[in-house]
Structure 1
């Protein structure tokens, strides 16, 4: 099917900075956030990340992950992300290279990087491409993935792993015999 756009790739990379199964978090601390922003090219050099910047990144990421979730969304998590987004003015430019939606140039380095993430998210929401980005519903996974199925019906990040685990659990629950049934 269709491949993800650069904006989709960026948002998925941001959402997947936390790995529930491996119990790792690339944004666990301010230096980790600075490293990730540099590695992804959102900043040209390692920025000075404050504790407030770090907390904003975690609130923003939680909101993005919630937005991409397949189950009921928690409004308070989305509201926290919105509070971060309100601080990030975006500009539309007819002459900008790349995306026409850009973070305001006067923003500090870290906020400008967040603005680039916000612009990418806005493009996904406007184009509807966000419908192809999903979060695995397995409680022990939560990986954000690209749904390349024709009808956008893919549920699991991997049928061989998470989908199979869920089917095995369902099968075991259906076939579990109660002690009273043996009497």
Structure 2
């Protein structure tokens, strides 16, 4: 289910994480911009800003977002600083397009889930190969 499909879904998502919700329009714009930044050709890029401070804690410096969009951007910034930003990918399945984090050792994962999208694509490719073969007779 798309958390950003309705205002109530967005507010619930933010509340469950003890975050202050930005406007739904700002959240949708932020998601589109993030998706474009990781290579979704269907996403609309744009500059987006969100309030994130740096706090010095007993464990050291930490990003301290004040809104839900800020928390998502803080997580994206952590990935970039750690060099893991290229591991964020978009599932190529036309009926999916979910963003996912590639945890494979060699960063070669293509599908958000091999059990769902990858399996469907493999089954589709198998059916296409099977129908292309001439019948034996």
TM-score tier (shorter)? 0.7 to 0.9
> What residue is the counterpart of 1:61 in the other structure?
31
1:160 shift after superposition:
3.2
Q: Where in structure 2 are the equivalents of 1:1-183 lying within 5 Å? A: 24-43=1-20, 53-69=23-39, 73=41, 77-79=44-46, 82=47, 84-85=48-49, 88-95=50-57, 100-103=62-65, 112-177=67-132
Which secondary structure does the structure 1 equivalent of 2:44 belong to?
Answer: helix
- Runs of 4+ more than 6 Å apart: none
Whole-angstrom CA distance in 2 between matches of 1:114 and 1:56? 8
Which digits, 9 at most, give the CA deviation of each residue in 1:6-58, with x for residues without a partner? xxxxxxxxxxxxxxxxxx32222222211110012224xxx6x6xxx111111
Q: TM-score, normalised by structure 2?
A: 0.74
> What residue is the counterpart of 2:135 in the other structure?
none
> What residue is the counterpart of 1:4 in the other structure?
none
Instruction: Evaluate the alpha carbon distance shift between residue 29 and residue 90 of structure 1 in structure 2; reply closer, same or farther with a 3 A threshold.
Output: same
RMSD: 2.9
Greater relative contact order structure (CA < 8 Å, 6+ sep)? 1
Whole-angstrom CA distance in 2 between matches of 1:113 and 1:164? 33
1:151 shift after superposition:
0.5
Structure 1 unpaired stretches of 5+ = 1-23, 106-111, 178-183
Structure 2 unpaired stretches of 5+ = 133-137
Q: TM-score, normalised by structure 1?
A: 0.58
| Count of residues paired in the alignment | 133
